[in-house]
Amino acid sequence: LECMCMGKIALCSQMGGMSDVIDHQKDGIIFDIFDDDDLEANLNFLRNMTYEQRKSMGLNAHTKIKEQFKLKHEQKQYLKSL
């Protein structure tokens, strides 16, 4: 979350909570933890992106975190779970 908040592209495995936050290839990258080829393919995808594409994905990440983790949004989500 911290890197996304700073406009950086997050790279994470399918396991864990981050994969619930990231939209693959829109605001971050998700890879299959049990598939080395998938990790390699996603790293190559990142490497082959243009500067503008990386900047856009980072901005998407920043915007998502800014919107989804506002205090009011968090309060609503908490109250829904009660």
pLDDT at 81 (0 to 100) = 84
Predicted confidence pLDDT, tens digits, the chain (82 residues) = 889 989 999 999 998 888 889 999 999 999 999 999 999 999 999 999 999 999 999 999 999 998 887 777 778 877 888 8
Separation CA 80–CA 58 (nearest Å): 30
**Judging by beta carbons within 10 Å of its beta carbon (0-12, 13-18, 19+), is residue 39 exposed, middle or buried?**
middle
What phi and psi, each to the nearest 5 degrees, are found at residue 76?
-60, -45
The answer to whether 29 and 11 are in contact (CB under 8 A) is yes
Statement: the pTM of the whole predicted model exceeds 0.75: yes
